Structure 1
Amino acid sequence: MLGVWSPERVREAERRLFRTVAEPVVMRRAANGVALSVRGLLTERLGRVSGRRVALLVGAGNNGGDALWAGALLRDRGVGVTAVLLSPGKAHAEGLRALRAAGGRVVEAGDSELTADAVEALRRADVVVDGIVGLAAQGPLRPLAAAAVEQVAAPVVAVDLPSGVDPVTGAVEGPAVSAAVTVTFGGRKPCHVLGAGPARSGRLDVIDIGLGPHLAEPGCSVMETHEVGHAWPVPRAEDDKYSQGVLGVAAGSATFPGAAVLTVGGAVRTASGMVRYAGPAADVVRQRWPEVVATGSVGDAGRVQAWSVGPGIGTGAAGREVLAAVLDSSKPVVADADAITLFAGDETLWDARDPDVPLVLTPHEGEFARLVGQRPVDRVAAVREVARRCSAVVLLKGNTTVIADPDGRVLVHPCGHAWPATAGSGDVLTGMIGKLIATGMEPSPACARAAHVHARAAELAATGGAAESREPGEAAPVGAPIGASALLEAVPDAVREVRAVASSVS
């Protein structure tokens, strides 16, 4: 797992570190990491470091100091470095002295408008270092900084975070930096995994500056690809169709038979074993998925290890009856779509569940708002609170999926793209999560693994399989909009990929 720490916890760790290591020493460690990333980017893009030009966008505070010290180190490698000071009277004094002593150039950005020297330095740069603001900042870039960023055509290496991205939520509410590489220290921060943060951060280089022993438990964690692949269920030599888990699916209706087809398909494509369907779309399900045992009602479905319920069942009396029957089965339940709306509108349904039986809620933001009365601002805090209050695992969908346990543990999956944002893709995810739980997997990691593969399947489908890793600043592969059916068909390829990654690191 990759830990994610809040700015407050990072500052606490820094204070503890400074009791044993002088702050200037720590700053030089950070600056060295920034300089290494800049050198790597110059080599990747232009083939060499010496003789290239780097501009530093320097604000007040330690991030600007890191940029200045990095500039001094780059001068030692023959790089032409110009620091553009956005707050000349507040720039880090020791960093400025070090840059000037190394032969770096310093210009002022200006007052209400950029100076000609600042514009020239930014336009001629081969790489720009963003040292404008740090983890204490809030809100978009101020006008002068925004004007400076507009002059940048070269790739950006951001110090700790892309300036203008909210450190806690990853939100971008105005002008902000888009980095090719973000160099952060000690561990990931929320802005690197939430909201627009992952896309704005580019590649993330995490530099060890000695914070590790001083960091408390992370506020949330990211499951790595090899962890997804290692635990993905595949048939063992002694398995049969029952031992690999039987999922019941209660989804769809005469009006929305596609919801049943997609939810069932998500389960079938995820793992071997067996899927039972219960509902009015049984004939349509049999036609599309002949391997599925389809019946007309939950009571006739037979024995299952878990249920996926909700997509397309409706929010009237018939839908409520379906949800109540599933809850009465005393099996783990993954509730999505109409089931969440029913929970939000009928408090008696909460009483129908056995509180000792796992419940997973998988809302999008609109459904989440029905549960709590408003859309989340701080997604991690909001999902953690709802999970505690509902005594359920809650998965909030989005370009970063947030998953919280009732005990407060949080997993996130930063998708970095929006290819799954298409009608019916949530139905596929509901079937995937349910099938993993039916195999015996715990609900929270089942949600994280399903979300990872679901997002990867969407990317593979959209790009025709061309969405491989790429160098910083390299254009993303060209994709085309997809429907949920295309995502569903790509799930096996995504499973093969995560399992191959797991095999390569085992």
Structure 2
Amino acid sequence: MRTAHRVEKVRAAEAELMARLPDGALMARAAAGLAAACADLLGRVYGARVVLLVGSGDNGGDTLWAGARLARRGAAVHAVLLAPDRAHAAGLAAFQAAGGRVADDPFAVLSGADLVLDGITGIGGTGGLRPAAVPVARAARGSGAVVVAVDLPSGVEADSGEVRGEALRADATVTFGTDKPGLLIDPAREHAGTVRLVDIGLGPHLPSVPDVESLQHPDVAVLLPEPSGESDKYRRGVVGVAAGSARYPGAAVLTVAGALRGGAGAVRYVGPEGAAVVARFPEALVHAGPPVKAGRVQAWVVGPGLGDDEDTVGQVLASDVPVLVDADGLRLLDPDAVRARTAPTLLTPHAGEAAALLGRDRAEVEAGRLDAVRELSARYGATVLLKGSTTLIAAPDPRLPVRADPMGTPWLATAGSGDVLSGLAGSLLAAGLPPLDAASCAAYLHGLAARRAAAVSTPITSYEVADALGAAWRDIRTPD
């Protein structure tokens, strides 16, 4: 599992650790890891042309010390000092003693660089790049060199993943001690490139509960339900699906498709499209409705393609089992009914739906995804899965970390993919997973299935994503 901590917690951990170490030892650890990562990217250090973009403070110091190490290994290293009067004094002295040179013309050295180290701003930077740094950052990006960000790409927000101005796009980021939330969350994540974490000994000094976490294959494998010898279809859980309408019959089929791959023992479809569902999935149980007369379920999915059927949404929310609300169900949602529920609720909006629920602009939600998912969860007292380029899942308990899904792919931007995800997550709820785990595992499997489908042929359809879920499940259960 990847874990990320906010800047204030990283700073506190650094202070605790530095109090136990000789002066400069922590920066030396960071610089050593940074230089090693750069050497790996270069392949051959001797004779390589390296340019350092050096801002003020410790981030610039890390960059200068790493540059000194590369210079001692035979690289031609030039430093562009963006704040000469505030450059890290010890780092600059070490850099020059190792044979590094301060550039007179930043654009001349950048034009011939093999690798550029972005040490303009560190994790404390806010508000995008300062105007004086913008031309240099653009030249670095346009140079053709490999751009490596030091701890975090300059211009992005470490704690939120927001980009509030111009920021440098890196090919790789070398971060120290722990991931920062912005490295896991778009739009900042897309500026980071490949992220490499260097252990500098912060672990024992960081809080045990991170601010953001990202599941990986072994984490999902532990959470996925697995039948036992005593299992039958009812013990494994029955998920009810209230979806689809004459206008959107495909939503019913796709939601059921996702639900059948989610680990529950049976799927009970309730609504007007039972014939279409059974034609594709004869194993599904169907009922014309209403939900209160459909039979016992262990969780409900309501909303995909539902139209304006407020009664169905209200009946499902009045049930005493976990409920997932998506699509039209979100538009018809009664906030008081959600807050009054004693069983868990999972909301799965995309950015536009989240914006409507929050009374914000969609662009505001997309720019500040972490803030939006936390506010939605707190406002509704529900677990919220905010779909998008980075899917985020927040539980109503603010002490729990937000989960960032690492498996998303742009190929999921296709009609009906959200219906498949809803069915999958609802089935995991019925199988007994808590909402945070059900949503996290569903998002992970959904993305992995889309990647598998896209590896066969592109573009892909939502039904192909559903069809690949079984293979994705096997990938996680039986990794190579």
Shorter-normalised TM range: over 0.9
* CA shift for structure 1 position 174: 4.2
Tell me, what secondary structure is at the counterpart of 2:175? Answer: strand
2:474 alignment counterpart = 496
Aligned to 1:468: none
Q: Tell me, in whole angstroms, the C-alpha distance in 2 between the residues paired with 1:138 and 1:464.
A: 42
Report the Cα offset of residue 175 of structure 1. 3.2
Q: Is the 8 A contact 1:334 1:430 kept in 2?
A: yes
8 A contact 2:338–2:381 mirrored in 1: no
> CA separation in 1, counterparts of 2:306 and 2:174?
47
Call closer, same or farther: CA 1:372–1:49 in 2, change over 3 Å: same
Choose from 449, 461, 464 the match for 1:483.
461
Residue 243, structure 1, aligned to residue 239, structure 2: no
Residues 240 and 401 from structure 1, CA distance in 2 versus in 1: closer, same or farther, beyond 3 angstroms? same
Query: Does residue 1:462 correspond to 2:440, yes or no?
Result: no
What percentage of residue pairs aligned between the two structures are identical?
Answer: 47
Report Cα offsets for 1:209-263 as digits up to 9, x if no partner: 2222221231122222211123222433432222222111000111111111111
What whole-Å deviation, never above 9, does each CA across 1:302-329 have from its counterpart, x for those lacking one? Answer: 22111111111123xxx11111221233
Q: Does 1:212 align with 2:203?
A: yes
**377-386 vs 162-171, greater mean Cα deviation:** 377-386
Letter in 1 for 2:255: T
Alpha-carbon distance, 1:415 to partner? 4.2
RMSD, aligned α-carbons: 2.0
- In the alignment, is the contact (CA less than 8 A) between 1:199 and 1:416 conserved in 2? no
Query: Following superposition of structure 1 onto structure 2, how do residues 347-426 of structure 1 map, counting pairs within 5 Å?
Result: 347=335, 349-350=337-338, 355-375=341-361, 376=365, 378-408=368-398, 409=400, 410-415=402-407, 417-426=409-418
> Counterpart in 1 of 2:213?
221
CA distance in 2 between counterparts of 1:157 and 1:189 reads 16
The letter for the 1-side match of 2:29 is R
Given that residues 52 and 118 in structure 2 are in contact (C-alpha distance below 8 angstroms), is that contact kept between their aligned partners in structure 1?
yes
- Find the residue that maps to 1:374 and give its secondary structure: coil
Matching residue of 2:167: 176
Rounded Cα–Cα distance in structure 2 between residues aligned with 1:174 and 1:66: 24
Aligned residue number for residue 137 of structure 1: 125
Counterpart of 1:189 in structure 2 is 180
My pick for the range that moved more, 181-190 or 83-92, is 83-92
Alignment of 1:153-168 (within 5 A): 153-168=144-159
1:306 maps to 2:284: no
Q: Which residue of 2 aligns with 1:288?
A: 280
Query: Which digits, 9 at most, give the CA deviation of each residue in 1:405-451, with x for residues without a partner?
Result: 12111222144642222221111111011001111111111111111
Alpha carbons of 1:446 and 1:350: their partners in 2 closer, same or farther (altered >3 Å)? closer
Distance in 1 separating the partners of 2:408 and 2:77: 32
Gaps of 5+ in 1: 109-114, 466-479
1:52-131 matches, cutoff 5 A: 52-108=48-104, 115=105, 118-131=106-119
Q: 1:150 pairs with 138, 146, 168, which one?
A: 138
Q: State how many pairs are aligned.
A: 469
Superposition TM-score, scaled by structure 2 size: 0.92
Moved more, 74-83 or 17-26: 17-26
Question: CA separation in 2, counterparts of 1:436 and 1:486?
Answer: 20
SS at match of 1:206: strand
The one-letter amino acid of 2:345's match is: L
Name the structure 1 match of 2:194: 203
